[in-house]
Structure 1
Amino acid sequence: MEVVTIETPQLGDRTYLVHDGEVGVVIDPQRDTDRVDKAVADAGVRITHVAETHIHNDYVTGGLQLATAHNAAYLVSAEDDVPYQRQPVSDGDTVHVGRLVLRAVATPGHTHHHLSYIITDGDRQAVFSGGSLLYGSVGRTDLVSAEDTEPLTHHQYASVRRLVEEAGKDAGLYPTHGFGSFCSSGPASGAEASTIGEQLAENHALTDPDEEHFVRELIHNLTAYPSYYAHMAPINMAGPAAPDLELPDSLDGDELASRLGRGEWVVDLRNRIAFAGNHLSGSVSFEYGDGTQFTAFLGWVLPWNEKLTLVGERQDVEDAIRDLSRIGIDNPDAAIGAGPAEVAPGAATSWYESVGWKEVLQKPGDDTVLDVRRTDEFQDSHIRDAVNIPVHELLRRMDEVPPGRLWVHCGSGYRSAVAASLLQRAGRDVVHIDGNFHRAEKAGLPVVYPKGD
């Protein structure tokens, strides 16, 4: 048995190709299945099965289109009432994939009908746990509804314990979530690989002997998750179509300026410091690049299903189109170029200051520090007298933003750049603070710790 991992770091998820050298099964494929096709071709195998651990809440699946394209059986929980053709699987069902034996294990918790898969090849085992057992933690349990959260958390506790009993300690563990995904909960370890035995020793869901304590702690520590999640499960239940990843023709400058004038969403993909120094008036900053969580924050912050235009260099725009398709944002328009003078010569431009923490010490007393981190981050520690409005709530809470000049910060400078651009678009006077929050106190800012940490 060989396990090929296909990373999607932009969403903190993994897809797996598991094969015996001739045939294989793909588990939890993302929507852009050409990456899977390449992995299959590189391995020189044939896909006979595609399996979903659950109806996903954080991305659009490529499972149906992949199974159709390869004439493969599509394994989906028998409990999920879907309109498309699939091979329903239930707890205890086994499926043969060449010499591999796949066994489904019901692991409700992340969702009601969640399945994990134990794949055996001779004396070797691998566990594909989806959003159930993660490295150091478990998948979050609050994505179905508020009423279901506590019962699902109890189910999660029982499910992961049953799963490790069903598998050997030497079995490799291969979760879908937990690599930066908002679908994970609790103290995820950050490990790149693990085994069932290691999780038995380290995972709080397996080491905490008190189920009630585990449930209370997990629910208490759940943080906000992206609003676009509300659209993912319905899309996946209906059966998503293949994405169109072609780069559209670049808009000319007049059309781009016209869209800005109409108040449409024009997203600048450049570095946030370059954006601060000069950008098209009315555009917003979502810097594209490794480690930025561009996809999650754009889908979280901007209104769903509104017309979108991406502005940036060709490669960034192409990559952003692919990334956005994974969360169901399809066919954005594009303006290709290095900056305002190239994409819309003569159009109105704007700028705002971008500073470090030392410059904040010179802030006039009447100006406001606006903290756009999540509420839980703010409650852990914040600058004295700062006002907290999380960036994902900013558009609907603009009337709560204090008057006067705003010095905007987050944890790293990324979210505050998004917020500063939204505020300027709304007519506010902003200063962007580009710095890691943990350096604020060292720079001399008065940081308070409400919980006494």
Structure 2
Amino acid sequence: MSDARDVELTAVVDEGLGNSCYLVDLGDGSALVVDPPRDLRAVRRAVGKAGLRIRFVADTHLHGDFLSGAVQLAHDDGATILASAAGRRWFEHRGVGEGDEVDLGGLSLMALATPGHTDEHLSYLLRDGEQPAGVFTGGSLIVGSAARTDLLGPERAEELARAQFASLRRLSALPADTAVWPTHGAGSFCSAPPGVDRTSTIGRELRTNALLGIEDEDRFVERLLASLGSYPPYFLRLAEANRRGPAVLDPAVAARLPQLPASAVRGMGRDGAVVVDARPVPDFACAHIPGSLSIPLRAQFATWLGWLVPPDAPIVVVRDPDQDVAELVWQALNIGVDRLVGELEGGFDAWAGTGCPTAGTRLVGPAEIDGGRRVLDVRQRAEFAAGHLPGAVHVELGSLAAVATHLPDEPTVVMCARGPRAMGAASLLERAGHHDLAVLAGGPDDWAMATREKLQVE
């Protein structure tokens, strides 16, 4: 719970997407939810634990990294949706704009226009009487930085960065003890760059946020734009999906997957379906369906599913029996991937048991890397710049599919920080016809340690 004023607030964090939504106890048995995702399971648990009913739901902006759960909450709970009137949403909501105030019953919510991350972006100032308790800053001011401004296209990035400069200066004028509750945080590709903490105060940000210390607008813009890395292409689609309003789901059936026999999976693969293997890296390395795509089920599953699988391709899932199918499906639905046509019945063992062809990918340790193999580093640009193996070739995982057929087919060790992204990259290369692939079990730190130990022995 937050200690800001007397407001009872719970942050519900999605570690995989790096986002937070917030549950505010309005003091009369009802609640306000800010920036909920389509996957409402954690929100429902928090609401149930607090014994509240949801009366209001507010979105700070048209999200690009996840589908909003606002429409679902309006349908299921009768919640009133609060959102920017400038967003021109297609569904029923209460449109608000600069200076509009919503009485929540004791507490109130005031809309502040804070464009930059998006055109119609609002922050919401939560007030207890006349006193500011905190501000929901969405994708404007985030802990230690500001959210990126290039999601509406690179041609508008500078214009929106200038708007972000004005928005941050406006927010920084709030009282120093005002809590800062951003949506984007560590792990979010909307952050620029991501910070570590998820909440803060205006006073703390004035002391520690380097962007707030830049008084010259041109220098601010230069600094912000220089920090921007790549982001998943589905970000360009979800804002419009959120404007139209995601389809209402039946949670009781949404997370079920039809069971598909091996023969059906083989036929779907030939017809253009993508087989996504969600098993852990060692299992995929030992044996997998040739041409399948390795995306291990973990917190970041949705990000890489949306990044690596073509947006129109049907998806067939392979998983281990102990992996939670509901978690897998909800992560996909959270980013608008509703093309999961089923899963391999009986898992990979059933595939292998029918005599269907299999493939494997060798896992190697740092000591096994030598000058005879190309080293392909698929981490993000900033990670590579911070330190990499000598002579390593750098291609970000998100960009690899577009260039895989142009890379020479030669013996290659693929690496990332720990292994999951590297195995995904190796599976992409295999799909593109590459041979003699291996994946480093570990990352550059493991290689550096092994190199030091070798030198000490010598």
- What TM-score results when the alignment is normalised by the length of structure 2? 0.90
Deviations 1:104-155 (A, max 9, x none): 1111111111100111124460111100111111111111122211111111
Structure 2: give runs of 5+ residues left out of the alignment: 1-6, 453-458
Q: Could you say what secondary structure the match of 1:394 adopts?
A: helix
Note if contact 2:314-2:339 (Cα within 8 Å) is conserved in structure 1. no
Taking only the aligned residue pairs, the percentage that are identical comes to: 37
Note if contact 1:77-1:115 (Cα within 8 Å) is conserved in structure 2. yes
1:311 & 1:409 partners in 2: Cα distance? 23
Q: Could you say what secondary structure the match of 2:141 adopts?
A: coil
Pick one of 22, 26, 50 that aligns with 1:43.
Answer: 50
Structure 1 residue 329 and structure 2 residue 337: aligned? yes
2:140 & 2:156 partners in 1: Cα distance? 16
- Which residue in 2 is equivalent to 1:450? none
- Which residue in 2 is equivalent to 1:388? 394
The total of aligned residue pairs comes to 438
- Which residue in 2 is equivalent to 1:215? 221
- Which residue in 1 is equivalent to 2:294? 285
Which shows bigger deviation, 197-206 or 404-413? 404-413
Displacement of 1:376 in angstroms is 4.4
Displacement of 1:318 in angstroms is 2.1
Q: Could you say what secondary structure the match of 2:109 adopts?
A: strand
Deviations 1:183-205 (A, max 9, x none): 0003x430143212111111112
1:55-70 to structure 2, matched below 5 A, reads 55-70=62-77
Q: Could you say what secondary structure the match of 1:91 adopts?
A: coil
Q: Could you say what secondary structure the match of 2:82 adopts?
A: strand
Note if contact 1:305-1:329 (Cα within 8 Å) is conserved in structure 2. no
Letter of the structure 2 residue corresponding to residue 132 of structure 1 = S
Note if contact 2:272-2:314 (Cα within 8 Å) is conserved in structure 1. no
Displacement of 1:261 in angstroms is 4.1
Displacement of 1:405 in angstroms is 1.4
Pick one of 6, 25, 45 that aligns with 2:12.
Answer: 6
Q: Could you say what secondary structure the match of 2:350 adopts?
A: helix
- Which residue in 2 is equivalent to 1:240? 246
Displacement of 1:84 in angstroms is 1.7
Displacement of 1:275 in angstroms is 0.7
Letter of the structure 1 residue corresponding to residue 170 of structure 2 = R
1:69 & 1:85 partners in 2: Cα distance? 14
Deviations 1:211-242 (A, max 9, x none): 22121011112100111111101111111112
Which shows bigger deviation, 103-112 or 399-408? 399-408
Letter of the structure 2 residue corresponding to residue 47 of structure 1 = I
- Which residue in 2 is equivalent to 1:110? 117
1:98 & 1:358 partners in 2: Cα distance? 64
Deviations 1:93-113 (A, max 9, x none): 110111111111111111111
1:20 & 1:49 partners in 2: Cα distance? 10
2:225 & 2:260 partners in 1: Cα distance? 47
1:66-77 to structure 2, matched below 5 A, reads 66-77=73-84
Q: C-alpha root-mean-square deviation of aligned residues, in Å?
A: 2.0
1:89 & 1:263 partners in 2: Cα distance? 45
Displacement of 1:415 in angstroms is 1.2
Change (3 A) 1:223 1:63: same
Structure 1 residue 157 and structure 2 residue 157: aligned? no
Letter of the structure 2 residue corresponding to residue 276 of structure 1 = A
Letter of the structure 2 residue corresponding to residue 426 of structure 1 = A
Displacement of 1:45 in angstroms is 2.5
Note if contact 2:261-2:345 (Cα within 8 Å) is conserved in structure 1. no
- Which residue in 1 is equivalent to 2:438? 431
- Which residue in 2 is equivalent to 1:136? 144
Displacement of 1:373 in angstroms is 2.3
Structure 1 residue 355 and structure 2 residue 355: aligned? no
Displacement of 1:257 in angstroms is 2.8
1:39 & 1:378 partners in 2: Cα distance? 39
Q: Could you say what secondary structure the match of 1:296 adopts?
A: helix
- Which residue in 2 is equivalent to 1:312? 319
Pick one of 262, 274, 296 that aligns with 1:265.
Answer: 274
Note if contact 1:107-1:159 (Cα within 8 Å) is conserved in structure 2. yes
